[in-house]
Structure 1
Amino acid sequence: MSLSFAVPDVSALERVTAALTSWQRDDALVQLHPGDLGWLWRHGASAVATALRTWSDGDTVLAVGFFDGPEVFRMTVSPDRWSDAATARRILDDLSATDGTLVPDGCLSVEVPTGTAVHELMASSGWRPGEAWTPLARDLAEPVDLAGQDLRTEIVDSGRVSGFTTAHRSAWGSQGFTDELWNTMAGGPAFRESVSILGRDAVGASVAGVTVWSAGAGRPGLIEPMGVAADHRGRGFGRAICIAAAAELQRRGASIAWVCTPSALRSAVATYRSAGFIPLTERLDLVRQ
């Protein structure tokens, strides 16, 4: 095996997204999802390419990493290489290099699926536990009951963007998510089978929003991000929009609806649990100094 490391260019994004999509499976929920790339796509294809790192054997992508900010590196490995020691050693060597090709100076926090050879090798090589995350999943084998919802939901399109982005900005206390950014995001390959959902209250106000990322029928779908407008919290809208997201993923054939949130955000964990999402085993990032 000859494993090569690369910073992909824009022309490789379709191939990387397709690889990530094909790797999604129910027994490996805590890994990089094509929706993570899709959410960054709001800043354009160049931003996504700049954030990505890949390891390949010839033209076959075997591992993908993604800078979710300057010091957080989220990555996963092709399922058929999860236990491969040679792949793990090459990845760890690249993560540990000091020439700045992959890792910037300073502290690096890495999210990698528990149970992979990469995770095991890092944990035994001096990387220490970092931030705790709680993954939650809702099995979509059973019907999702939307009865009794005190929230009117609609799929976001070009005519409903403003309501969605307004709710998002309020939920996250940021003015950065504009209609233009949503339209850019919607033009990316990860969004082709995905949707944003807007929630309105009884008088029609935009009160909540969520984007659901499909990886195709029979595969897990991701909810990211979800938010309730600041002045509409405490009324069950978070629970309702999460149930609506699960129902939409079920309609699209997803096997599981899942989300991963910092364990410290107890209110977020409680909201997902109230919507029928079951907490899975907590996981920790790995950190090096």
Structure 2
Amino acid sequence: MDFELNTPRTDELGDAVAALRSWQSDDAPLQLHPGDLGWYWQLGVEKTAASVRIWRRDGEIAAVGFLDGPDVLRLTTAPDLLHDEALARRIAADLDDPERGVLPAGKVNAEVPNGAALHEQLAETGWDTDEAWTPLRRDLTAPVEDSGLRIAVVGPEQAELRAALQRSAFEGSTFSVERWQAMASGPAYADARCLIGFDENGDAVATATVWSAGPGRPGLIEPMGVHADHRGRGHGKAICVAAAAVLQELGSSSVMVCTPSSLTGAVATYRSAGFAPLPERFDRHRAA
């Protein structure tokens, strides 16, 4: 049976989250994580559903795509279909036909796991490589050291402080209490925690959100940031260590993060927190 493409209804989003959760493995290359959808959930369930594309075969989910913007698709497949040429051909055809409602005509990018058959299919139809990304992973089988920060897990009463930290750490961010509430209402957040780090003076200096995919599977940090007034003091490293400790408590086997390779400072921060770089991943780009 051929693969079928659809945009899920809001009540089908839980199926996509469950599939992404089950596909996470320390043996697999970095791929789309349930936390990626979970963080986007801040925009509401309707917008999240509109951003997702699902490929099914015989009713089973074979691949999940996430439009992280109108012209950027982040995509992964079921592990046993990573090298499936028929699925790769179908997805490539869908990406190159704007009438199928995945990507528009013109310049677009696709994020595809390393080693996927889709890379070859896209190359054959004229897609080149684009921005380099550095995935990093920290194993969580050994005890995690103390971060040096006092860590609070965010609940509704800390949501305003969490939102303010996000806006300070990321210029142009419009994160708000309402967005935190929307994110926290999604199914992916059942396995997530928002963290705030306080220094020795009691100042809120850093924040991170961690997403578990369940016991024995890799978790994700998305996002991590340091307050603009408290940079250059090691708080980025510290909040990453704290994030690793929380994911270990949730049963995660490892913690993953990915950052543009051009952000050498970010790569250095993660490495200082015990994260080891993995092989670079390159986006696929269609120029026209």
Question: TM-score under structure 1 normalisation?
Answer: 0.96
- Equivalent residue runs for 1:98-137 within 5 Å: 98-99=98-99, 101-137=101-137
Superposition deviation, residue 70 in structure 1: 1.5
Q: For 1:70, what is the secondary structure of its paired residue?
A: coil
Q: Distance in 1 between matches of 2:112 and 2:209?
A: 23
Report if aligned partners of 1:65, 1:73 keep a CA contact under 8 Å in 2. Answer: yes
Determine which of 177, 181, 199 is the counterpart of 1:183.
181
Quote how far apart the aligned CAs of 1:159 are. 1.4
* CA drift at 1:97: 1.1
Q: CA deviation at 1:182?
A: 0.5
> Which residue matches 1:158?
156
**Greater shift in the superposed pair: 230-239 or 151-160:** 151-160
Question: Whole-Å Cα distance in 1 between the matches of residues 145 and 103 of structure 2?
Answer: 45
195-204 vs 117-126, which moves further: 117-126
The alpha carbon displacement at 1:105 in A equals 2.4
Give 5+ residue unaligned stretches, structure 1. Answer: none
Deviates more, 1:231-240 or 1:104-113: 104-113
Q: What is the RMSD computed on CA atoms of the aligned residues?
A: 1.1
Counterparts of 1:197-212 in structure 2, within 5 Å, are 197-212=195-210
SS in 2 for 1:122: helix
Identical columns (%): 51
Q: Report the Cα distance in structure 1 between the residues aligned to 2:132 and 2:168, rounded to whole angstroms.
A: 26
Structure 1 position 251, deviation (Å): 0.9
Q: Distance in 2 between matches of 1:180 and 1:122?
A: 39
**1:192 is paired with a residue of what secondary structure?**
helix
> Do 2:70 and 2:103's aligned partners in 1 also have CA atoms closer than 8 Å?
no
- The alignment status of 1:238 with 2:207, answered yes or no, reads no
Contact residue 131 and residue 285 of structure 1 kept, 8 A: yes
Q: Secondary structure at the match of 1:99?
A: helix
Q: Is the 8 A contact 2:153 2:195 kept in 1?
A: yes
Q: Aligned match of 1:257 in 255, 258, 262?
A: 255
Task: Show CA shifts across 1:215-255 (max 9, x none).
Answer: 00000100000000111000010000000000111111111
Answer with 103-112 or 219-228: which moved more.
103-112
CA distance 1:142–1:47, change in 2 (3 Å):
same
Corresponding residue for 2:18?
18
Correspondence for 1:219? 217
Shift of 1:63: 0.3
Instruction: Determine which of 277, 280, 288 is the counterpart of 2:278.
Output: 280
| Structure 1 residue 280 displacement after superposition | 0.6
Q: How does 1:261-272 map to 2 (within 5 A)?
A: 261-272=259-270
Query: In structure 1, what is the equivalent of residue 7 of structure 2?
Result: 7
Counterpart for residue 91 of structure 2: 91
Instruction: Name 1:73's counterpart in structure 2.
Output: 73
What number of residue pairs does the alignment pair up?
Answer: 287
